[in-house]
Amino acid sequence: MVEKYLKNLPSQNLLSSEKIIHQNREFIIYVELQNNNKYSKINKIDQENFLIQKLHKLALYKSKKKRKFQFYSNNDTTISFETKKEKETKKEKEKEKDKQKEKEQEQKKQKQKEKEKEKEKRKEKQRQKEKLIEKKKEKEKEKEKEKEKEKEKKKKKEILKDKDNIKEKQNNKKINTKMNSKTKIENVYGKRKNDKNQKTIETNQQKQKEQVYKKRKNEKEKDKDKDQDQNKEKEKEKKIEKQTNKNYTFQLFDSFGFSNFEMQKPKIPRLLRSYSERSASSDFFKSSKKKQLQKTYGDHKKKHQRKIQKTTKKDPKKKKKKKAKFPTASQLRRKKNVELKKILSKFGLKVSGRKEELVQRILSNSDEIIF
């Protein structure tokens, strides 16, 4: 397949080996010439099994300075050969790059050396600091030793002082025993005096309390007498009222003689009574009802409320009669719209919303409508 593509090429001196670059992959092809100016052999070295059979054209691109081969694949992607000059230029560029890399490496080495020197300097500074710290610690230890010596001296002095103090205390104890015996006697005499004074104070307080109690008792008795007098006066008034409310006697004379008729005091009708009397009577009836409820259910309001709730439960079976609701204007309009829709649906028309005018026009134009 490859020889077919190579027959149409012109006869020129070609390079023995070239590189192909396709999709970031490198492939090497070796080309040899014959006397008949035809390509006899193409040796292929392919690391990723690149297929030359897919190439459908092979052309030669000439120029004075450069010479390139261009392979056209099915996807119209180009693959180019490189000449010796290009290789040389590339090699020179690579050499320059290598030189630059070497320079950069040397610079890096120098920088590393400088960094190491700085590290050594820092280490020396740290060593000096550590030495200073050790010296300070030694000085502090010496100071502590001196303080301990001073403390020992103070302890010895205190021990001597304690011995002197013990002697003084012993002498003072002897003196105090004598003085204490006198004070004990005086204290006993003083306690007796205090006890007598306290008893007198307590007796005076009791007398005052008794006087206050007697005064209160007398006041209560006086109040009772007043209440009794008031009750007596009220009873007298009630008796007088009863006497006025007694039955009246009337003497009526007939043709046969006279006879006595007993009649009660006439009752005044409720409407003719004054407003004050009516309100008083209503209050009286209310109070009497409350007393009756208290007797039956007790004084507590909660008990009374609970029992009333039990008695006044609604029957679930009984339903309230619903009041007749008259239709509103909006409801009547809706009914009209529904009727209009039914009429128009027979003619194959549709109504959305209120369209009474349209219906009236249809009805006016149509002579006969069958529903």
213-243 pLDDT, tens digit each: 888 888 888 888 888 888 888 887 777 766 6
In this prediction, residues 10-21 reach a mean pLDDT of 40
Torsion of CA 204, 207, 213, 215, to 10 degrees: -100
Task: Check residues 199 and 7 and name the one with the higher pLDDT.
Answer: 199
Q: Is 259 or 161 the better-scoring residue by pLDDT?
A: 161
- For residue 251, which of 264, 263, 266, 265 has the smallest C-alpha distance? 263
Q: What amino acid is encoded at 81 in this protein?
A: F
Q: Is the confidence at residue 322, as pLDDT, over 70?
A: no
Q: What is the percent of the chain where pLDDT is above 90?
A: 0
120 has a pLDDT exceeding 80: yes
pLDDT of 127 above 80 = yes
Q: Is the pLDDT of residue 8 over 50?
A: no
Q: What is the mean pLDDT of residues 44-66?
A: 36
Residue 41: CB partners within 8 Å, gap ≥ 6?
30, 32
Average pLDDT value for the chain: 64
Model confidence band, residue 204 (pLDDT cutoffs 50, 70, 90): confident
pTM, to two decimals: 0.22
Picking from 52, 60, 59, the residue whose alpha carbon sits closest to that of residue 22 is 52
Amino acid at 174: K
Q: What is the mean pLDDT of residues 246-268?
A: 46
Chain centre to alpha carbon of residue 234 = 73
Question: Which pair of tokens denotes residue 160?
Answer: 């001597």
Q: For residues 162-182, give the mean pLDDT.
A: 75
pLDDT band of 362, cuts 50, 70, 90: low
Among 5-14, 102-111, 135-144, 188-197, which is the least confidently predicted range?
Answer: 5-14
As a whole number, mean pLDDT of residues 129-141 equals 89
Quote the CA–CA distance of 70 and 216 in Å, as a whole number.
139
Q: Cα-flanking dihedrals φ and ψ of residue 39, to 5°? A: -80, 120
| Mean pLDDT across 31-50 | 37
Question: Which pLDDT does position 334 carry in this prediction?
Answer: 77
Rounded CA separation 124/130 (Å): 10
Q: Where are the domains of the chain?
A: 2-82, 275-309, 332-365
* Other Cβ atoms closer than 10 A to 166: 10
Q: Taking residues 158-179, what's their average pLDDT? A: 77
User: If 0-12 CB within 10 Å is exposed, 13-18 middle and 19+ buried, where does residue 44 land?
Assistant: middle
Rg over alpha carbons for the chain, rounded to the nearest Å, is 70
Reference 294, options 302, 304, 286; nearest CA is 304
The percent of residues in the chain predicted with pLDDT above 70, rounded, is 42
List all residues 6 or more positions away from 302 whose beta carbon is below 8 Å from its beta carbon.
none
Instruction: Give mean pLDDT, residues 271-287.
Output: 50
CB atoms within 10 A of CB 330: 7
Q: Average pLDDT for residues 61-80, to the nearest whole number?
A: 38
